[in-house]
Structure 1
Amino acid sequence: MNFKIQYIITAVVLTIILGSAVSCEKLIETDFPNNQIASDLVFEDEQTAEAALAGLYSGMWETSMYSGGINGKGALLGTYTDDLTCFYTSASNGVLDLYLNQQLPTNTAVTAFWTNAYQLIYSANSIIEGVGKSKSLSQVVKDRVRGEALLVRSMLYMDLFQIFGEVPYTDTTDYLINSTLKRMPEGEFLIKVETDLSESVILLPAVYRNTERIYPNKYAGYVTLAKMKMLLKKWNEAEVICSVIMQSSLFSYQNDISKVFQKSGTHIIWQLKPKNTNDATKEASLYNFTAAPMSFAMNPDLVNSFSAADLRRQHYFTAVPFGAQVNYKPAKYKNLAVNNPTEYSVIYRLDEIYLMQAENFLQQNKISEAIPMINRSRQRAGLAALASTLSVTEAMTELRKEKRREFFTEQGIRFFDLRRWGMLDQLNSVKPNWKSSHAKWPLPQKELLVNPNLNPQNTGY
């Protein structure tokens, strides 16, 4: 892992991002060499702690894997699997090679993905350390701030693991330690992340600290922990957690398909706010085209998976004729430019919990409990309910179809589902260059050169 990144003193970053008047002296106690982020971050009051967290979330929205833009999982894993067709004509940004499944360890998109993730992990570790050193923050504030930073770090680790395989784990800002880290063995790594997530759920309050749900609470932690339990095939534990979420009075299912991506819905569990008021989401901007696509269009195989009666054809994507060709653009987010009073970028929504729960039930042969979970999104889309007489195998097939139709281009869900189901190799029917070794991305070559302890490279690269 290359931690010789640009020197960014956290206080300065936050001042730039937030326009805050917080002084550097309040956030740091000493000067630092030019190749390190300040590691002696200490929070003197709740305001500085909130500013640090705001910087972390701004980083998530801007360029991280959770961004709805070109750096995000929605786009990169969407074109890597079978959600999106890539129309970039140059391979310089690395995305075209991901679409063609011809990525190399020098791929610029892969390198940026890794670097952005570990920069956020470093920021989260800095916040955790700063909270731990503070003698002035109340225990309630310490717990919440630590819980939020732990959650973000755990999310990053869990997704990095699923994309790259074994990766380094660090909970320190110590440069000497971080510059020589090895990839942590899978079993040890997953135990650490599961433990961190469990702690974050305990620490996070159930009440949102902002009514727009732009910061995570305990239930966002529950969603992530449930995903980890499913990754570990702990189906009963995942079922219990999903039940807790669905039974909360904070959330209600959105039955109006035209409002699924509106920020005010009580089906939203966590969403990221654009940097400026009324800015478009990155998703709306990235996928918009009015003639020939310049970046992405929906994969024809995905378009053909929707029946004519499916209301998602009207609300989730749009046909764009150009000459004799018709391409389809994802249109879950519709507001463009500076005319967006209604949409933020969704990280978690209740709809996903219903289909996660359906999978938990089916993995335990609870067919009668699973079918109603699948039917919620089907019926909202104007489709007939599935019969309760389906077999477990038939119901699982329907669940897989429904998850693809409901969550395309959202946070890489398609890739993570196919990986968990052991079905990534089915992509060879729509991706001619797909190989089994593509289940993992290559580790960036520049990271291996800086830190040889990260070797060996993933198989196939």
Structure 2
Amino acid sequence: MTTKIKYKIATALLTAVLLFNISCEKFIETDFPSNQIPTQLVFEDEQTADAALAGLYSGLWTNSMFSGGIDGMGALLGTYTDDLTCVYTSSSNGALDLFNNQQIPTNTAVTSFWTYAYQQIYAANSIIEGARNSKTLSGAVKDRIRGEALFVRSLLYMQLYQIFAEIPYTDTTDYVVNSQLSRMPKDDLLTKIETDLSEAVNLLPTAYKNTERIYPNKYAGYMALAKMKMLLKKWNEADVLCSTIMQNSAYVYQTDMIKVFQKSGSHIIWQLKPKNNNDATKEASLYTFTGAPTSFVLRPDLVSLFSTTDLRRQNYMAAVPFGQQTNYRSAKYKNLAVNNPTEYSIIYRLDEVCLMQAEILTELNRASEAIPLINRSRQRAGLPALSSTLSANDVKIQMRDEKRREFFTEHGIRFFDLKRWGLLDQLVIVKPNWKSFHSKWPLPQKELLLNPKLNPQNTGY
């Protein structure tokens, strides 16, 4: 590698690091610092552009809603709903307040969640602008770079909307525009996100750039767009997208329970690579404990949903005795410390597409077609297949129960499902502090003080 190329890559990585350290105030108030390396230099060739993208993915793994750690949707939304019990002891812990459904606008976990998301949106916007304005990148490379960044930005916006409702939307790094952002009305925001995801799908390549599937391709875009169509209740369009994924021979359902969370499976659609080779996933580090639990345990009502013959009870969770009590922890990811040659953090897997389509088919009054899709995960778990004569309502119940059993602690899927199904208020049965307005999180008070145009605060806070 020449000195010049090494310098370019180092420059790109430095830009990514600077970008991820911009605070949310900077996102709203200012442009890049005057001493930052100009974006156009980062996009002189494909290697430097890819290095900037690598910084974006690194940020998603390290600190983001898609991180498997304490700041990610799996932990925060899992404890907010009914997957996890939070056992942190600090009275000022943001996750503990979310578990107790007592979050306020100064909640530290909520503030960090918002801050990281908008840092990464700013990062994506910078990459999109850099690729678009580059004089040296080929058209195909420009499209791919823009497609990947637009895909990530769209995911961030889609999840932010579902958690906070109306939010500010921007597609620029212009500090004047960003300093005056207000919350975009719901219909306009959803149209923007849907349009952006459609464009990302068009720009993303069909083939993976890397055999490990750590960079999104067109089919990852199809899956994200299908989720958006489900949110919009565009069931026929969502059905076509899910069918397109499942008909692709590159994706094969993993029938071996032990291999579901191993990085080499052809059921994986998109995953995030740990920062260093052989690092443990954040999920493994966060949920593993011996003796007294330290962060989160699985809720007893979740554990009770699994029969003793369900292989997921043996492979997805682990019993941890402590005194006279037995706690259960999430054990989907097994490898710890620097002895992890087999696991990355999976964001999208074919298993979810199957149960997404099962839901879609129930909404299209084609419940009998949903039964084989539900049976895939049941039979892999050693459970008997559902009868083909089930009523439409029973199919819907079985689909919802199966989705909870299969995807607990994974990226807030439980929260998003309950919200889409209009069932969040059922949480009051197991969470006495739950109120209807908890379907939305409060906007961080810090942001409202910095930018009054973000008012009004969400109802109830």
Q: Quick one: distance in 1 between partners of 2:272 and 2:33?
A: 33
Instruction: State the shift of 1:37 in Å.
Output: 9.5
Write out aligned runs for 1:360-375 (5 A). Answer: 360-375=360-375
2:243 is the alignment partner of 1:243: yes
Q: CA RMSD in A?
A: 1.7
2:411 counterpart residue number: 411
1:208 counterpart residue number: 208
1:118 counterpart residue number: 118
SS in structure 2 of the partner of residue 320 of structure 1? strand
SS in structure 2 of the partner of residue 418 of structure 1? helix
2:385 is the alignment partner of 1:385: yes
2:266 counterpart residue number: 266
1:432 counterpart residue number: 432
Q: Quick one: distance in 1 between partners of 2:41 and 2:421?
A: 42
Instruction: State the shift of 1:34 in Å.
Output: 5.9
Please tell me the residue identity of whatever aligns with 2:346: V
2:221 counterpart residue number: 221
- Cα gap change, 1:135 to 1:36, in 2 (>3 Å): closer
Q: Give the TM-score, by structure 2 length.
A: 0.93
* 1:181-217 Cα deviation digits (max 9, x unpaired): 0100010000111000001101101100000001110
2:305 is the alignment partner of 1:305: yes
2:24 counterpart residue number: none
Q: Quick one: distance in 1 between partners of 2:443 and 2:418?
A: 21
Q: Is the 8 A contact 2:11 2:37 kept in 1?
A: no
- Cα gap change, 1:33 to 1:208, in 2 (>3 Å): closer
Instruction: State the shift of 1:267 in Å.
Output: 0.2
Q: Give the TM-score, by structure 1 length.
A: 0.93
1:21 counterpart residue number: none
Q: Quick one: distance in 1 between partners of 2:41 and 2:236?
A: 40
Write out aligned runs for 1:2-81 (5 A). Answer: 11=11, 13-14=13-14, 33=33, 43-81=43-81
1:168 counterpart residue number: 168
- Cα gap change, 1:449 to 1:17, in 2 (>3 Å): closer
- Cα gap change, 1:35 to 1:319, in 2 (>3 Å): farther
Instruction: State the shift of 1:455 in Å.
Output: 0.2
Instruction: State the shift of 1:309 in Å.
Output: 1.1
* 1:81-135 Cα deviation digits (max 9, x unpaired): 0000000001333110000000000000000000000000000000000011101
Write out aligned runs for 1:189-200 (5 A). Answer: 189-200=189-200
Gaps of 5+ in 1: 1-9, 19-30
1:290 counterpart residue number: 290
- Cα gap change, 1:406 to 1:32, in 2 (>3 Å): closer
* 1:354-384 Cα deviation digits (max 9, x unpaired): 0000011000110221111111000000111
SS in structure 2 of the partner of residue 269 of structure 1? strand
The percentage of aligned residue pairs carrying the same residue is 73
- Cα gap change, 1:280 to 1:17, in 2 (>3 Å): farther
SS in structure 2 of the partner of residue 244 of structure 1? helix
Q: Quick one: distance in 1 between partners of 2:296 and 2:428?
A: 20
- Which stretch of the first structure deviates more once superposed, 387-396 or 39-48? 39-48
- Cα gap change, 1:230 to 1:42, in 2 (>3 Å): same
2:255 counterpart residue number: 255
Q: Quick one: distance in 1 between partners of 2:455 and 2:11?
A: 35
Q: Quick one: distance in 2 between partners of 1:457 and 1:38?
A: 37
1:28 counterpart residue number: none
2:327 is the alignment partner of 1:337: no
2:356 is the alignment partner of 1:356: yes
